[in-house]
Chains A and B, each alone.
Chain A
Amino acid sequence: MTVRWDLLLIPSFLFTFILLSVSQTLFLEGSFYKDLGLGRTGDTLDLVNYVRVFTDGFYLTTLWITVKVSALATICTLVFSFPVAYVIARMRSSWGMILLSGIVVSTFITIVIKVFGIIIIFSADGWLNQFLMSTGITTEPYSIIGTQEGVVIGLMYFTLGFGVLTLYSVVQTIPTSLEEAAEIHGASRPRMFRRVILPLAMPGLVAGGLMVFNMCMGAFTSAALLGGGKVFTLPVLIQRTIMMEVKYSMAGTLAAVLLVAVILINVLSIILIRRMHFARGVLA
C-alpha cells in the first residue's frame, strides 16, 4: 500500500489559504468602496480610493519612499551578510556552527528590542556619538531618528540574520573544488570571487535579495520606531489609516497597492535577471 504523504499538506494548505485569502479578500473587496467615516463604507463599487492613490503626490511619494528604503536595506543586507555567510560556510572548525547558532539565536530577539538598541547606540549621549564628537569627526551628535537612513539601518538589522542564513545555504552549494581549481590556475581572490563565486551564487543572491526586499516592504516596526513619525512608508500609513482615521477602504487600497507593487517588482526583477543571464550566455 502506498502511503499518501502529500495528503499531510492539505491541513496546513487549507489553514494558510483560509487565513490569507479571507483576510485579504475582505480588505481587497473593501478597497473598492468609498469611506464614509467611523469605519462605515459606501454600498456601491467605486474606484475613488485607487484614483486618489495614483493621482495624489503624497501617496506616490510614500510608495516611492517604501520602495527606496526597502531596496537600499536589501542591498546593504546582501553586502553585509554575504561575506559573513561565505566565511561561516567555509569554516572547517566547530566555530562555524557556533557562529551560525549565534545568528539563529539573534533572529529570536524581537525587533522592538533590536530597534531600541539602535536608538540607544545612536542617541545624543550614546557611545557612538560620544566617540564621534570626542575624536572630532563630528561636532554635533548625529541622530538617525526621523530619517530615511535610520529606517534603512533598522530594516537592515531586521533582515540581516535572515540574509546570512539564506546566503549560507547558497554558498554551501558552491563546491570548494571550483575555488581551488581557480586558485591553482592563478586566479587572485578578487578575480575568483568575481568570476567563480559571484556567478554561481547569483541565483541564490537574487532569490535571497527578493525575499529580504519583500520583508522590508511589509515591515512596520522599524519604520514606525526609527521613522519617528517623520518617515512614512506604506505599512506605517496603513496602520495610521486604520487606527486613527478608521478608514478601512483606504487602508485596503493601500494594502492592495503594496501587494501589487511587491509582486510586480518581484516579477520584473526575475525577468530582468533572466534577460541579463541570457544576454551573457549569448555574448559568451
Chain B
Amino acid sequence: MSMKSMTRLTTGLAVAGIVSALALPAAADGKFDGVTLRVATFGGSWKESLDATITPKFEALGGKIEYVTGSPQANLAKLIAGRGRAPFDVMEILDAQVPDFAATDFLAKIDLSKVPNTKYLADFQYNDMMVASWNTQETICYDKDKFAELGVARPTTYSDLAIPALEGRISIPDITSGGGLANFGGFAYAAGGDEVNVEPGIELIKSLKALKFWSRGGETITQFGSGDIYAAVVHAGWCVRAKNAGYPVTSVHPVINDKIKGVAKEGWLGVMKSSEHKEAAVWFINEYVGSDFQYRAATKNGVMPVNQEVIARLGEDPVLSEMLELDPAMIAKALRVDYSKVDTSDWIDQWNRMVSTQ
C-alpha cells in the first residue's frame, strides 16, 4: 500500500469516526423508535404550540405524536364508551372531571421520578395519578372602543354587563364548553349562591340577555370581529388571542364577592391505563410542564402556566401582564369551584331549563 493510499485510508477512517461519533447520541436517544404516541388535547393554536415545542423533541427520539383533538368532555365520553379502552395514551383532564376520574379506573399511575419537571410545580399540582398542566383565568373580555362609544364604564362585575346598551351583545360560555362549569360556578357565587345553590347564578345569567352561549372560545374572537358582541365571558387566553388578532379588547377579572376576585380553571394530564406506551406518555407529561411548552402556551395561547419559572418571566410581556393576573396573592383569591360538591347533571339540567325558558 502506497503512502498516498495510507493517507486516504486514515483520513477516511477519521471522517467516518467523526460522523459515527456525531451520530451516536441520536442513536442512543432513539428510545421511542417506532412509538406512535396519541395525545388527546385541544386543537387550533394549542396543538400548534405542542407541535412547535414537544413534537420535534419526540421525533428526535424516533417516535411520532398523533394529536386527537377535541374537548376533554368529548374525550371522556369516548373513554367511557370504550369502557376505558382509550383511543389515546395521554389526555387533558379538566378540574371538573377530576371527581369522575377518581370514581373510575381509567388512569395509570405515573412514576413521578420520570417527571423531573415537577420541580417547577407546587406540591399540590401533582400526584401519582395526574399532573397539573395549565390554569385559565376566566375573565370578562370586552371591546374597549365599543364600550367608550356607548359610554359604558369598564365592567368590574358580571352584573355590570346587565345594561340595555349591551343587551344581545354578550357571549357567555355554554355549560357544555370547556369553561362552562367554572363560569357557571362563578355566576352562582357572584349572585350569592354556591356549588349547591346555583339558582341565583341562573337569574344573573338571564339578566345579561346574552346573544349566544358559546361552545368554543374561538367563536368569541369571530364575533368580536363581526361586531356581533361587545363583551364575552371567556378565559384570558381567548382575550389575548383576540388582541393579537387586532381587536381592541382587554380583560377584567370579575369581582365575585368581598373575598373572591376572578375565576380559575385548572387542567391536568393523565396516562391511560390502556396505553401501550406509558413511558412515552410520561415523557410527554414531563415536557408539557417543562419551560419550553409552558412559556409558549402562555405567550401564544394566554393560559396561566403551572411552571413557576415561566410564571416569573411573564411580567416582561406587556400583553400578558395586562390580561393575566400575575400577583400570587391575587391569584390565590380566585374562585376555584369545589367539584366534589357539584352535581354536574343537576347543573346541566338547570342550565338547559334556563335556556329553554328564555
A residues contacting B by CB (< 8 A) are 37-39, 58, 61-62, 119-120, 123-126, 141, 143, 145-146, 224, 228-230, 232, 237, 240, 242-247
Contact = CB atoms under 8 A, between A and B. Distances in A.
Interface string B201-224: 000000000111111000000010
Contacts of A123: 223, 226-228
Contacts of A244: 73, 77, 175-176, 348
Given A39-B77, A124-B226, A246-B77, 5 more contacts: A39-B81, A120-B226, A228-B214, A230-B210, A230-B212
Contacts of A224: 215
7 contacts: A141-B227, A146-B210, A229-B176, A230-B358, A245-B344, A245-B348, A246-B80
Interface string B324-358: 00000000000000000000110010001101101
A224 B174 CA distance: 12
Interface string B177-213: 0000000000000000000000000000000001111
A11 B240 CA distance: 55
B348 to A, nearest CB: 6
B356 A126 contact: no
Nearest to B174: A229
B205 to A, nearest CB: 11
Contacts of B81: 39
A143 B358 CA distance: 16
Contacts of A247: 345
A224 B213 CA distance: 11
A158 B275 CA distance: 41
Contacts of A119: 226
Given A125-B227, A229-B174, A246-B77, A37 B345 contact: yes
B103 interface: yes
A174 B163 CA distance: 59
Nearest to A229: B213
B73 A126 contact: no
A232 B354 CA distance: 11
Interface residues of B, number: 31
A39 B80 CA distance: 6
A229 B355 contact: yes
B168 A229 contact: no
A249 to B, nearest CB: 13
A126 B228 CA distance: 9
B104 interface: yes
A123 B219 CA distance: 13
Contact of A146 (B74, B211, B352): B211
B161 to A, nearest CB: 16
A81 B77 CA distance: 40
Contacts of A243: 73-74, 77, 176
Contacts of A246: 76-77, 80
Contact of A230 (B100, B226, B355): B355
B355 A232 contact: yes
Nearest to A35: B345
A237 B345 CA distance: 13
Contacts of A62: 356
A145 B227 CA distance: 13
A229 to B, nearest CB: 3
Q: Please name the 6 residue pairs, one residue from A and one from B, whose CB atoms are nearest each other, closest first.
A: A229-B213, A123-B226, A39-B80, A228-B212, A125-B227, A124-B227
